[in-house]
Amino acid sequence: MKIVNPDTAEALADRAAFHNALRDGGHVARVEPAGYYLVGGFRQVRALLEDHATFSKAEGNQFVPTEPHYALNQDPPAFNAFRAIYNAYMSPKGVKRWSSDCGRIANELVDTLLPLGSGDLLPLFGKPLPARVTALALGLPADQIDQYRAWTDAFLSTMIADPAEQARIIGAMYACFDMEFARRRAALAQAGIDTPDPSHVGTILDDNLISVLMTSTIDGRPLTDDEMRRTVRGFFIGGVDTTGALILNTLWRLLERPMLWEQVQSDHSLITAAIEESLRFDPPAFGMFRGVTHDVDIDGNMIPKGSRVLYSTLSANRDPALFDAPDEFRLDRKPVAAGMKNISFGGGAHFCPGAWTARMEARIALEVLIKRLPRLRLTGQVQHYDISNFWVVRHFPAAWD
């Protein structure tokens, strides 16, 4: 079995080459000195995501096992009832409730940056847009956006490098969430409601995910605070940094080849194709962790029970066994076989519940930028954070005058 290190300067300088190499020699590598396993290849990763009995999320999707066996950290069949609580609310139809607000926020941000003529689109647009929409969807205060962005940046960068610091950040997030739980409980108590139910969402309580969680039941009981904290955190992290990465990574690939930008300007129907190709080509998350419940052999490579495994979305999404010319970014990419799309939002029971919100935000963001900044162009090199399992923009120099 190959020994690799995704944190070396060489690996970070060419992420695609590093992850493509995982498909050679058995699709499995041991990561040292961290001590986990990497799995690459579309068939192998998809099988991993669907085999919950072997590759478990019951101890979370972080490098260090945490918060076991509740909320998002469960496997089917126990997970199925919990997933049903938020699935309808975050469905493609459900997320339309935020589309007008997303467009309003995107236009407000463009109003602010227009007079500047040039600048870094990360703090000007790519971060505040998903942060504000996420706060709205979850029901978090709208006046703490900078704090949310700081938490999500630090959370991603410490996942493998400093689990203790990540635990501290989680504690700070949870203190914020707890204040929102208390505020809603006070509103319910003032209304004389001892047993809240979904009819109180949009009436006594504002219509948002925290309110939905607080008025839902599972197995005939209300959700515990721990269950709500873990669920809100999952949507919070994905909604801010990785959605922002999807927006900016898509924009980057279009602007670095102006011909593509011109094509999308001329034909807005290509926006959806650009977003899907960006998800395939530049997945914001290169993978999440699973725990191995028993010794398992993948293509002749034995992974022992108790190991942590990181699946590689980039390796899967660029597998030539499935995608033609996989290392090319193309707006005319032909659909592949049914059920064989990119797996940037994961798969199986733990398919990312924020996928539809992310796609909606990215589409609206690009529509607004194309309409209002027709002369948008890069003025320097787009830079990404040196984080081995995320592809998040750090600096996006551009001009639009």
Amino acid at 293: T
Per-residue confidence (pLDDT) for residue 340, from 0 to 100: 63
Per-residue confidence (pLDDT) for residue 239, from 0 to 100: 86
Q: Please state which architecture CATH assigns to domain 2-399.
A: Orthogonal Bundle (1.10)
Per-residue confidence (pLDDT) for residue 332, from 0 to 100: 92
Q: Give buried/exposed letters for 319-340 (b at 16+ CB in 10 A, else e).
A: beebbeebeebbbebeeeeeee
Q: What percent of the chain has pLDDT over 70?
A: 99
Find, among 7, 13, 15, 76, the residue nearest to 36 by Cα: 7
- pTM here? 0.94
- Which tens digit of pLDDT belongs to each residue from 197-248? 999 999 999 999 999 999 999 999 999 999 999 999 999 988 888 999 999 9
- Which tens digit of pLDDT belongs to each residue from 36-64? 999 999 999 999 999 999 999 999 999 99
Q: Cα–Cα distance between 128 and 131 in angstroms, integer?
A: 5
Which of the four pLDDT bands, split at 50, 70 and 90, describes residue 401?
very high
Cα distance from N-terminal residue to C-terminal residue, the chain: 53
Backbone angles phi, psi at 198, to 5 degrees: -60, -20
Per-residue confidence (pLDDT) for residue 156, from 0 to 100: 78
Q: How far is CA 111 from CA 124, 246, 395, 398, in A?
A: 11, 22, 21, 16
Q: What average pLDDT does the chain have? A: 94
Per-residue confidence (pLDDT) for residue 241, from 0 to 100: 87
Q: Cα–Cα distance between 327 and 124 in angstroms, integer?
A: 30
Contact 323, 344 (CB under 8 A): no
Amino acid at 148: Y
Q: Cα–Cα distance between 353 and 386 in angstroms, integer?
A: 26
- CA count, 13 A, side-chain hemisphere, 290: 30
What are the residue boundaries of the structural domains of the chain, listed by start?
2-399
| Mean pLDDT lowest among 140-154, 194-208, 221-235, 332-346 | 332-346
pLDDT for residue 251 is more than 70:
yes
Q: What percent of the chain has pLDDT over 90?
A: 84
Per-residue confidence (pLDDT) for residue 159, from 0 to 100: 77
Per-residue confidence (pLDDT) for residue 337, from 0 to 100: 61
Mean local confidence (pLDDT), 156-170: 85
Per-residue confidence (pLDDT) for residue 25, from 0 to 100: 74
